[in-house]
Structure 1
Amino acid sequence: MKSFSLRAAINTLALCAVVIGIILLFAGWPIYRFVIAGGFPMDMSVTKQNASGMIPDVQVPTLVDPATPHSAYSRKGLDGEQYRLVFSDEFNRDGRTFWPGDDPYWEAVDLHYWGTKDLEWYDPDAITTSDGNLVITLTQQPWNNLNFRSGMLQSWNKFCFTGGYMEVNLSLPGGPTAQGFWPGVWTLGNLARPGYGGSNDGMWPYSYDSCDVGTLPNQTWPNGTAPDAAKHSGSQDYGGELSWLIGQRASACTCPADAGEHPGPSPDVGRGAPETGDRGSASQSIQIAPFTSGYNWKNTSPHVEFNPDWTIQQNQWHGSVYQESLSAEVMTDNTSFSGRGYTTYGFEYDPGPDGSIRWAINGSSTWTVHSSAIGPDAAAGIGQRIISEEPMSIVLNLAISFAFQEPEWGKLKFPASLLIDYVRVYQKGKPKIGCDPPDHPTSEYINNHMDLYMNPNISTFAQSNYTKPRNRLSATGCS
C-alpha cells in the first residue's frame, strides 16, 4: 500500500510538472513579451479588407519595433535625465500600406487639406515604405480637381503620448536652393484630427485651463466690447481684431448640466488640441490659444533660451486671428535632401503650466520655451497657457502651398519625396502613452461625435448636428 501511494505521488508530481511546463510555454511567454518586450505582436494570420478594397499584407511590430537597435533603447535627455524608448517604427519592411485598417498605429488620409490652402490632394497610395524609409511622394498630376497629389500619415486615435521626446530621422524633398516643398513632422492633441475642420473648430489650438474671457468667441465679452486688446491689438489685415476663433469649445467654464458635451474628466477642466513640431525644413514651433495682446509672447531670456552653437532666427510672424505661434528658424546643413543625407529632428517637453519644450537637431538642443513665455496677460484678460497636457498624435506629411512660401516653380522637380528613416518616442519615469488617459480622456467624446472625425466635409462645428456646451460667462450663462 505504501509502495502504491509513493508511485501515485510520483506520477501526480510528474503530471503537474508537465502541466506547469505547458502553462509557462503558452502563457508565460506572452506575458514576458507584453511586460518586457513592449506589447503583443499582431496575429500575422489575420487578413482583413482595408478601405481600398484590398487585403493588406499586415506584419505589424510591437510598440517598440524589433528592428530598433538596442543602443537606441534609452537616451540622456536634453534636461539631463534618463529616457526610455516607448515607441518606434523603423519602416524597414518594404511595401507597407496605410489605408484605414492596414496598420494599428498609422493611417493615411484621403482628402484636401483646405485649411492651409494646399495645392495637393492627400491620397493614401502616395505613401509606402521602401529601402528602410517611409516614403511620402508629391507628384504633379491632376487629382480630384487639384494639380498635385501627396500624402499625410497620422497616428490619430491610434498612438498618442503625453510628455517625453519625439525624434524623427529624415531626408527632405528637393534640394537646399529651391523653395516650395512643405514637409511636416508635428503633433496635435487627439481631440482634433488634422484635415477634419469640424473637429478642429473650437479645439485647435487651445491649451488652456482658466475660466475667463479667453474662452469666449473672439476673446471678447458677450456684448462684443473689452478687453481693448482683443479689438485693436491684432493684425491690421483683420481690422486690428485679435481672434476670430469660436471660443474654447471644451473650456473650464462649461456649465455642469452640459458635461455630456465635454470630454472630461469634469466640465471645469479646460481641454483643447495644441500643436507642436517641425514644419518646413527647420521651423520649430508651437501653436496655442487664447492669444496674448498683439501676439507678443515673451520671447526673451529667461522665458526662452537659444543655443549659441546654432544659427537661429525667431520668426517675425507671431500669429493671426486663428493662432498664436511661437516659432524659430534654425539653419541646418545643405546635405540632407533627396536621400543623399539624413538629419534627426526632435523635441522634448514637460507638460503643464510650469512645463517647457526644447527642440533639437541631431541630438543637440537648439532652443527652449518655458511656460512663462505664455504666461498671464492682463491686457488680453487671459491666464496661463499650458505646455500641452493633452495626449498628442503624430502627423507626417508633404504639402505644397502659397500659405507656406512662394514656390519656385522653375527649380522644383517632380516627383519629390520626403524620406523618413524612423520615428521614435522616449519618456522618463512611468510611461504615459495612449490616446485616452484618465486625466485627459478622449475616446468617449470622439465616439459620441464621430462625424466630426470621419467626415472631412464638415468644415466647422456649426455644420454638424452636435451641440456646443454652454459657457457660464456667455450672455445666457447656464440658464
Structure 2
Amino acid sequence: MAAPTGRFAGSAPYARNVSPAVSTTDLLEHEKPHAALLSPATAGSLLPPMSPDSRRGSVSTLADKYSLAPDPRQWGSGISLQDREADDDLHNPDPRRDHRIDRGGTICTGRGILNLGCLFILSSGLLMLFAGYPILSYFLTKQPVTLGGYNLGGINATGQVPEMIGNFGLIDPTTPKEAYTRLSLEDGSEWDLVFSDEFNTAGRSFYPGDDPYWEASDLHYWGTNNLEWYDPSALTTVDGNLRVSLSKSTPKYHELDYMGGMMSTWNKFCFTGGYFEANVSLPGSTKAFGLWPAIWAMGNLGRAGYGASLDGTWPYTYDTCDVGTLGNQSFTDTTPPGAHRDGDPSKNGELSYLPGQRLSACTCKGESHPGPKRADGTFVGRAAPEIDMFEAQVSGDYIGHVSQSGQWAPFNYHYEWFNTTENIKIYNASVTKLNEYTGGAYQQSTSGLASTNQECYSAGGGCFSVYGFEYKPGYDGYITWVNDGQPSWTIRGAGMGPDPRVELTGGRPVPVEPMYLIVNLGISPNFGAIDWENLIFPAYMLVDWIRVYQPKDAHSIGCDPPDFPTREYINTFIEAYTNPNLTTWVDDYGQVNPKNRLVDKCD
C-alpha cells in the first residue's frame, strides 16, 4: 500500500477514516469563508478535487435557489386581497350570503331533525337521572317492615334483625311450598303461612341473643311448683328437630334435682288470630307417667316465669267494668254471694284468689295503663290470656292424653261455663271428652282431654303427631283444637258469656291480645302423679316444625299492634319483665296498682 501524502501523512493508519481538517489559513484564503468547509479534500480524501471557480459556482447556485427578490410581486404568488384562492370560502365568510341563510333558512331538514332529536334524548336522560329516578325510587321501593321488632332499625327485644326471605320474612326457607297455605277448620277458606320454623339447622342455640325469634328461659318456674330449673342448654336442634330435654342433675343444679327447657317468642314474634300448629314426638313413652311437656300461647303483656308481670294480668281476658275486675272477684262487703261459695274446695269454697285485673276497663284516667282509650276516655281492658295447644300426660293406666284448653278470668260461678250444644263441639267422642277439671282459685279452665297416638313418643314408636289450635278473637270468636292431625273439639265465644250468678255483666272474649309462642318440658307434682320408679332420664320432646297461619284478608302479626299496644308499657316497667325473682307487682316490685273507679276515688 502506498504511503499517504499531504497534511495527514504522519497519521497513518487512520488517514483513510478521518475527514480532512480545514485550517484558519484556508478560511482566510477564500472569498466566502464558509465555502472552505465545502472545499475539496487533499490527497487521500474521499471526495474528488474541485477548482476554486467550481466551488464558488456551487455556492451561488444554492443561495439563489432559496433567496427571494426584494419586490414581493416578483415572488410568483398572488398577494393581493383581491386575489382568490381555492380555500377562501372556508375562512372568508360572506356576510350577505350568511345573513340571507340565517334569516331565510329552515331547520326542517334531516340534519336539523337529527340534531333536535339528539338534544331531546340527552335532556330527557338527564331529567330522568336527576329527577325521575329519585321520584320513582321513593314511590316504588317497598318500605322495610319491622315484623314485630320495634327498636331502632326494627330490631327485636334482644337487639337482632331477623333474616328476611322474599315476602315471607318470618318463614323458614326450608318450609315446603305446599305448606304455604292451608284451609280453615271453620269455613274451609284458604289461609296464608305467616311464620314457620323447621328446625333443620343442626346445633342451634337459644341462649338470649342467639336466635332472632326464640329465647330460652334461665329460671325456676316456681309458680307451678316445678322440680326442675329451666336452662338454655336443655334446648338445641338435632337431626332436623328441636330437642327439649329433661335430665336429672347430679349434683343439684340451682339447688334443684332436674334440668328442663323452656323457650318462647315473647316480645319478638306475636300473632292475633289464626292457626298455630306443631309436629311433635312427645317425651318418654306411655310406660311411665309424670312428665309435663307443653306448647302454648300467652298474651305479650305477661311473660311466662316472670311473676310480677303476670300478677293481675294472667289469665284475664275481660273488657267490662264490673266486679269481675276486683280482687277475689267481689266487693269488700263480700258481694256477690256466688263468689264465696261453691268455689275452690281447697280455699274454703272461695271462687277466686286473684288480685284483680290490674289493667282493667275500670282504670281511672291518668293511671298507668298500656291503652288504648275509647272515644269517651275510658280504657280498654288489657291482660295476658292463655291458650294451650297441649299439655301432655300419661294416665295411671298408661294411656297417653293431651289436655287442650283455654285459661280464663274472671270466673263463672262454680267454674261452670255454658257448655251447651251451641257452644261446644266434640268431633270424635271416642278420642276426646271434656276434662273434669274446670278450674280453681287462680284460673278457670275449659279443656278437652284427647287420647294421643300411642306410638308418637320419642322413647316409644318415635313417630310424630300434629297438634294445633285455630282461633278467632272476640265475643263471637271460637277456638278449635287439633290432635293427631284431626279436629278435636271447639268452644264458641258465647260459652264464656255473662254470668249473673256472680254478677259478671260482660262476657270473656276469645283472646284479643297479641299472643306469643311457648315450648317447654318440665316436671311437677302439681300437674299429676309422678312414676319415679319407671321414668327414664334424660327424656326428650322432639318438635319437627312449628307453623302459624292467618286468613288472607286478616294478617295480624307483631307484639305491639296499634289497637293493642305493649311496647311503651313493657319498657316503662321493664324490670318486671326481666327479673324472674320479682314474684308480685306490689310487694316485690314495689309498684302500686292503678286505681279502679269501682272502689277508688278517681282524680
Q: TM-score, normalised by structure 1?
A: 0.89
Q: Which residue of 2 aligns with 1:131?
A: 239
Q: Which residue of 2 aligns with 1:331?
A: 451
Q: State whether residues 426 and 433 of structure 2, in contact with CA within 8 Å, keep that contact through their aligned partners in structure 1.
A: no
* Distance across 1 between alignment mates of 2:123 and 2:288: 78
* Distance across 2 between alignment mates of 1:312 and 1:391: 29
- 1:221-260 matches, within 5 Å, as 221-223=331-333, 225-258=334-367
Paired residue for 1:319, among 426, 432, 439?
Answer: 439
Cα displacement (A) at 1:114: 0.4
Deviations 1:225-256 (A, max 9, x none): 11111111212210110001100000011111
Q: State whether residues 312 and 357 of structure 2, in contact with CA within 8 Å, keep that contact through their aligned partners in structure 1.
A: yes
Paired residue for 2:272, among 158, 162, 168?
Answer: 162
What is the CA RMSD across the aligned residues, in angstroms?
Answer: 2.9
Q: What residue ranges of structure 1 are gaps of 5+ in the alignment?
A: 41-49
Q: May I ask how many residue pairs the two structures share in their alignment?
A: 461
Q: Which amino acid aligns with 2:361?
A: A
Q: Which residue of 1 aligns with 2:592?
A: 467
Deviations 1:58-92 (A, max 9, x none): 97863011111110111111012221111111111
Q: Tell whether 2:290 aligns with 1:183.
A: no
Q: Which residue of 1 aligns with 2:60?
A: none
Q: Which amino acid aligns with 2:434?
A: Q
Q: Which residue of 2 aligns with 1:77?
A: 184
- 1:359-378 matches, within 5 Å, as 359-378=481-500
Q: Which amino acid aligns with 2:184?
A: G
When residues 418 and 29 of structure 1 are mapped into structure 2, their CA distance, relative to the original with a 3 A threshold, is: farther
Q: State whether residues 111 and 122 of structure 1, in contact with CA within 8 Å, keep that contact through their aligned partners in structure 2.
A: yes
* Distance across 2 between alignment mates of 1:72 and 1:361: 18
Q: TM-score, normalised by structure 2?
A: 0.71
Q: Which amino acid aligns with 1:214?
A: G
Deviations 1:80-124 (A, max 9, x none): 222111111111111111111112211111000001100110111
Q: Which residue of 1 aligns with 2:423?
A: 303
Cα displacement (A) at 1:393: 0.6
Q: State whether residues 452 and 484 of structure 2, in contact with CA within 8 Å, keep that contact through their aligned partners in structure 1.
A: no
* Distance across 1 between alignment mates of 2:444 and 2:429: 27
Q: Tell whether 2:311 aligns with 1:201.
A: yes
Which secondary structure state, in structure 1, belongs to the residue aligned with residue 517 of structure 2?
A: strand
* Distance across 1 between alignment mates of 2:147 and 2:326: 43
- 1:54-453 matches, within 5 Å, as 62-80=169-187, 81-141=189-249, 142-223=252-333, 225-258=334-367, 261-266=368-373, 267-277=378-388, 278-281=390-393, 282-308=402-428, 310-338=430-458, 340-382=462-504, 383-428=506-551, 429-453=553-577
Q: State whether residues 126 and 149 of structure 1, in contact with CA within 8 Å, keep that contact through their aligned partners in structure 2.
A: yes
Cα displacement (A) at 1:4: 5.7
Which secondary structure state, in structure 2, belongs to the residue aligned with residue 151 of structure 1?
A: strand
When residues 299 and 447 of structure 1 are mapped into structure 2, their CA distance, relative to the original with a 3 A threshold, is: same
Cα displacement (A) at 1:398: 0.3
Q: State whether residues 60 and 104 of structure 1, in contact with CA within 8 Å, keep that contact through their aligned partners in structure 2.
A: no
When residues 194 and 233 of structure 1 are mapped into structure 2, their CA distance, relative to the original with a 3 A threshold, is: same
Q: State whether residues 93 and 129 of structure 1, in contact with CA within 8 Å, keep that contact through their aligned partners in structure 2.
A: yes
Which secondary structure state, in structure 1, belongs to the residue aligned with residue 502 of structure 2?
A: coil
Q: Once the two structures are aligned, what percentage of the paired residues are identical?
A: 45
* Distance across 1 between alignment mates of 2:226 and 2:295: 16
Q: State whether residues 406 and 445 of structure 2, in contact with CA within 8 Å, keep that contact through their aligned partners in structure 1.
A: yes
Cα displacement (A) at 1:363: 3.5
* Distance across 1 between alignment mates of 2:469 and 2:418: 20
Q: Which residue of 1 aligns with 2:152?
A: none
Deviations 1:384-428 (A, max 9, x none): 111000000110000111111111112211111111111100000
Q: What residue ranges of structure 2 are gaps of 5+ in the alignment?
A: 1-111, 149-157, 394-401
* Distance across 2 between alignment mates of 1:104 and 1:368: 33
Deviations 1:345-366 (A, max 9, x none): 0100110011111001244211
* Distance across 2 between alignment mates of 1:293 and 1:368: 22
* Distance across 2 between alignment mates of 1:95 and 1:59: 18
Which secondary structure state, in structure 2, belongs to the residue aligned with residue 367 of structure 1?
A: strand
Which secondary structure state, in structure 1, belongs to the residue aligned with residue 366 of structure 2?
A: helix
Q: Which has the larger radius of gyration?
A: 2
* Distance across 1 between alignment mates of 2:513 and 2:416: 24
